[in-house]
Structure 1
């Protein structure tokens, strides 16, 4: 135990081979056709675990993963994904769902699941018990959000202040940002295991929600098709815009 900080010492950082990571990133493609080879249970479980290690706002982990492998349900979900080749050929479909409504429950879990061999810092306890319930709560009809925005505008004239989320819609954006980070972890984990994926935005969300019996406030960020890349699975050569148009050094 560190006498000054009160925290347990962190484990030594592992050696990282950046070239292996580069291979994962550069070989990742949105694959449109898959073989019928299944993804082993252990591999899929490891990829999903790595997905949940993604950085996220206040460690509130506002996401859920609905893994569809049964042929009948998968076929119906593929139909809701407009019959795309990626959806109809993948052995696994995963609905990645943002949850802007679970922050209260997860704030409690953040305290309950704190490592038992480490003392809970008072600042962490204060954040989840007092600050988070104000910061993320929008109140009846969004009135608390309006009040917070008004106060933020006034206080922001004198000093930097957090700007939002101030509404139900901003909470949806908040949850979706963290969920997209988890999705990227999942995509790269699949590639690292030798499998591929295709994140799909082309789907009928109403049908997907009914089919998977999703919670009312859950937002389908994407449906991810996953499996072994077929020989004709990649349609075109990958290219990106000139970085000069996208990156600014200040």
Structure 2
């Protein structure tokens, strides 16, 4: 299969899209069409991610009664009155099935041998932490010795590192999702202000899943943006080497 040519939007168009995105706190009641939601989710999952294991899932909440139950869970903030809320979940627990999915959904007639080997042997060893994280502990000790001779990838080799691993990739998908809605003329607000215990009960979130944000989506309402944009000077964050 020949590689598709790399295409790009103009820098001006990309800058305009990114600069137009603001966290909107008030929305109109206008519903978001299902096909538009699906289109934005399809753009979200095009995000780069670790080993292409796509450790994310999304719960799309449109039911008015369920949205009403979510409002107090989200500290009764105005953004939680949006007509659509998407729970963005990091999934450190789905790597094993993802390894199988890579083989099953490979986009060529034949799966290359190196791909089969990686997802049948290398990746399962790399991401498997074993019962109570025992295998991860053993791998950390092995790596300390082996890394004395050459540089090695040292993570993820614990349950905690697996959570970080999943959150990093999921955050990239979440940014894609926000920009996708923005491109369709819908505003968003990523909410971290929620009671996670009550959220899990309200949405029946799998035990291993990590809710990293609730994304409020809708048409911007009156006085939807509270304050002017503020970013610190770039020089405070960037080192040129």
- Alignment TM-score, normalising by the size of structure 2: 0.97
Give the distance between the partners of 1:158 and 1:15, measured in 2 at CA: 41
**2:188 matched to which residue of 1?**
197
* Match for residue 153 of structure 1 among 144, 158, 168: 144
Once residues 3 and 76 of structure 2 are traced to their aligned partners in structure 1, the CA distance between those partners, rounded to angstroms, is 48
Counterpart Cα distance in 2 of 1:169 and 1:84 = 30
The residue that corresponds to 2:105 in the other structure is 113
Aligned to 1:178: 169
Q: Take 1:194 and 1:97, find their aligned partners in 2: how far apart are those partners?
A: 24
Q: Which of 212, 225, 228 is the matching residue for 1:234? A: 225
- Is 1:101 the counterpart of 2:87? The answer is no
SS in 2 for 1:94: strand
Q: Does 1:29 align with 2:22?
A: yes
SS at match of 1:154: helix
**How far did residue 214 of structure 1 move?**
1.1
Task: Name the CA distance, whole Å, in 2 between partners of 1:18 and 1:37.
Answer: 32
Structure 2 counterpart of 1:220: 211
Residue aligning to 1:129: 120
Is 1:63 equivalent to 2:49 in the alignment? Answer: no
Equivalent of residue 7 in structure 2, options 11, 14, 25: 14
Q: What stretches of structure 2 of length at least 5 have no aligned partner?
A: none
Match of 1:4 in 2: none
SS in 1 for 2:215: strand
**Misfit runs of 4+, over 3 Å:** none
Aligned residues: 241
The Cα shift of 1:15 comes to 4.9
Unaligned segments of structure 1, at least 5 residues? 1-7
Question: Take 1:163 and 1:229, find their aligned partners in 2: how far apart are those partners?
Answer: 44
RMSD: 1.0
SS at match of 2:18: helix
Deviation at 1:41, TM superposition (A): 1.7
Is structure 2 residue 37 aligned with structure 1 residue 44? Answer: yes
User: Could you say if the C-alpha distance between residues 209 and 247 of structure 1 is closer, same or farther in structure 2, counting changes exceeding 3 Å?
Assistant: same
CA distance in 1, matches of 2:31, 2:240: 44
The C-alpha deviation readout for 1:68-100, integer Å capped at 9, x for no partner, is 001000111122111110002x11001001111
Taking structure 1 as the reference length, what is the TM-score of the superposition?
A: 0.94
- CA drift at 1:236: 0.4
Task: Specify the SS of the correspondent of 1:164.
Answer: coil
Q: Distance in 2 between matches of 1:175 and 1:32?
A: 28
